[in-house]
Amino acid sequence: MGALEQLQEVARQRDSFARGWKARTGRGVVGYMCTYVPEELVYAAGLLPVRVLGSRQPQDVSEAHIFGMFCPFCRDCLAQGLLGRYDYLDGLVTAHCCIHIRQAFDSWRRHIPLQYSHYVFSPAHIQSPRAFPVMAQEFQAFKASLEAWTGQAISQEALQGAIDVYNTNRRLLRQLYELRKQESPPISGVEAMEVVLAGMFMDKAEHNRLLQELLTGLPSRPGMGPGVRLMLIGSEDDDTQFVALAESLGARVVVDDHCTGTRYFWNEVPPGPDPLAALAQRYIDRPPCPTKDLVDRRRLPHILALAQGWRVQGALLILQKFCDPHEFDLPIIRSYLQEHGIPSIFLEFDLTVPLGQFRSRIEALLEMLQMELV
């Protein structure tokens, strides 16, 4: 089995892989519900951090715990905990982000047995000069909390080693995305999404090894062929079926801006004498989600740079239903892209994806773009 096939298997059998890792190593697994959680600290403590994601299957267990008007993603994540899918987790962590995920986290730790839980306050106003000292203090508190739980100190060397592993991972994923700039990319949007998702459920050192093997072989792989170049923009999206639909219609999904894509890995931890301070700086500087894009709108020029760098011809704006931060943000992004000659369509996700409806709308966008390219 080649590197890509191994990564796809992890992405598709993610919980089985994490369970196997735990059985094989005898070490703990900690789930995280937001990508503002500094995974490096969990990794430096000898634990495996894994992303908590939903299943996109109908469920009826979360209504007693959180409002039905909360986004389907947070309700789905909580449901998976209540249904026992994440029974291998020893701990759960989240960071300060939207109120919906915070409520799902609070309900989880109240009603699902856990050895450990922690809430990381990450400033919303990350452009404030006070954001860095607050973030550094919160990361120090998280480090102390992990040390108290595990009974083991996290040394400077262990933290720097974790940072090096994660920085390598981010660099390799950037290299993978660079290949998607080609007219005929050697990897599809679905495959790239699966590669990123696999890294959220496996040891990053092992992920790095497979990424290096994949990158070695991709230049000689036949390309996917030319097609209308699209970008995904929005909130969390791990729906490979949706991306496969877009690509089956002749599109090439070449880049993205969402928290299971580029926002997760885009920037590295900068070098510095204090690894904890450098770690805090990285999470301050990362491409922001809408809950933290204050006061200057830094997302807009970042998204445009991605669109121009990957020669995007159109954009798919995706929204989890009832997601207030992105619901406020996406109309502004759509207007901004239109001003720069990039048309888009807005697609609202619920727990399950209306593939038939989405097919019609994506086909209409592609038809319009193809007419403009003639």
Structure confidence by residue, pLDDT tens digits, 24-44: 999 999 999 999 999 999 999
The pLDDT profile of the chain, 374 residues, written as one tens digit per residue, is 799 999 999 999 999 999 999 999 999 999 999 999 999 999 999 999 999 998 878 788 998 898 888 999 999 999 999 999 999 999 999 999 889 999 999 999 999 999 999 999 999 999 999 999 999 999 999 999 999 999 999 999 999 999 999 999 999 999 999 999 999 999 999 999 999 999 999 999 999 999 999 999 999 999 999 999 999 999 888 888 899 999 999 999 999 999 999 999 999 999 999 999 999 999 999 999 999 998 999 999 999 999 999 999 999 999 888 888 888 899 999 999 999 999 999 999 887 777 888 999 999 999 998 877 65
What is the share, in percent, of the chain residues with pLDDT greater than 90?
84
Q: What's the whole-model pTM score? A: 0.96
The secondary structure of the chain, three-state, reads: CCHHHHHHHHHHCHHHHHHHHHHHHCCCEEEECCCCCCHHHHHHCCCEEEECCCCCCCCCCCCCCCCCCCCHHHHHHHHHHHCCCCCCCCEEEEECCCHHHHHHHHHHHHHCCCCEEEEECCCCCCCCCCHHHHHHHHHHHHHHHHHHHHCCCCCHHHHHHHHHHHHHHHHHHHHHHHHCCCCCCCCCHHHHHHHHHHHCCCCHHHHHHHHHHHHHHHHHCCCCCCCEEEEEEECCCCCHHHHHHHHHCCEEEEEEECCCCHHHHCCCCCCCCCHHHHHHHHHHHCCCCHHHCCCCCCHHHHHHHHHHHCCCCEEEEEEECCCHHHHHHHHHHHHHHHHCCCCEEEEEECCCCCHHHHHHHHHHHHHHHHHHHC
pLDDT of residue 145: 98
Structure confidence by residue, pLDDT tens digits, 3-32: 999 999 999 999 999 999 999 999 999 999
Structure confidence by residue, pLDDT tens digits, 167-180: 999 999 999 999 99
- What is the bridge-based pairing of β-strands 116-120 and 91-95? parallel
Domain 3-152 = CATH 3.40.50.1000: no
